[in-house]
């Protein structure tokens, strides 16, 4: 009796393993099909462009935060004055970069000539 139970257990385990393998192969082929169709569509191109714009904006925000934090490193009043001048000029550069990025991604915006040189 024990032998019969062990044989049934082994048969059930093999059958279950075969079923799991078959389901896994089916899921893999479905994923590949969706990947092929997504690669052919224009949505993938739009998504790639959005990812690129997102990375550019993220880098710009990092630069802005780093620029604003630069004054905290200065210890003497001369260093603070120099950092302040540097920070203001860098802020103008970053603002100009932001205007260019927004012009490129969302269409032209109002040009501010006295802030962007």
For the chain, which residues make up each domain, given as ranges? 1-40, 42-117
pTM of the complete model: 0.50
> Would the pLDDT of 15 be above 60?
yes
For residue 114, pLDDT beyond 60:
no
86-109 pLDDT, tens digit each: 888 888 888 888 888 877 776 655
Query: Mean pLDDT score of the chain, rounded to an integer?
Result: 81
Per-residue pLDDT band at 111 (split at 50, 70, 90) = low
Q: Tell me the per-residue pLDDT of 56-80, one tens digit each, with 9 for 90 and over.
A: 888 888 888 888 877 777 678 888 8
DSSP notation for the chain: -HHHHHHHHHHHHHHHHHHHHHHHHHHHHHHHHHHHHHHHSHHHHHHHHHHHHHHHHHHHHHHHHHHHHGGGG--SHHHHHHHHHHHHHHHHHHHHHHHHHHHHHH------TTT--
Q: What is the pLDDT of residues 43-55, one digit of tens each?
A: 777 778 888 888 8
Q: Which residue has the tokens 């490193």?
A: 73
Contact 81, 61 (CB under 8 A): no
């Amino acid at each position: 009796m024990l032998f019969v139970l062990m044989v049934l257990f082994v048969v059930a385990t093999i059958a279950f393993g075969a079923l799991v393998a078959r389901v896994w192969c089916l899921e893999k082929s479905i994923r590949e099909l969706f990947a092929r169709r997504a690669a052919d569509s224009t949505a993938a191109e739009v998504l790639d462009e959005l990812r690129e714009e997102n990375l550019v904006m993220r880098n710009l925000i990092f630069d802005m935060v780093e620029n604003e934090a630069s004054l905290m490193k200065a210890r003497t009043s001369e260093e603070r004055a120099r950092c302040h001048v540097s920070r203001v000029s860098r802020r103008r550069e970053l603002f100009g970069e932001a205007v260019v990025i927004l012009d490129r991604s969302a269409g032209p915006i109002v040009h501010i000539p006295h802030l962007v040189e």
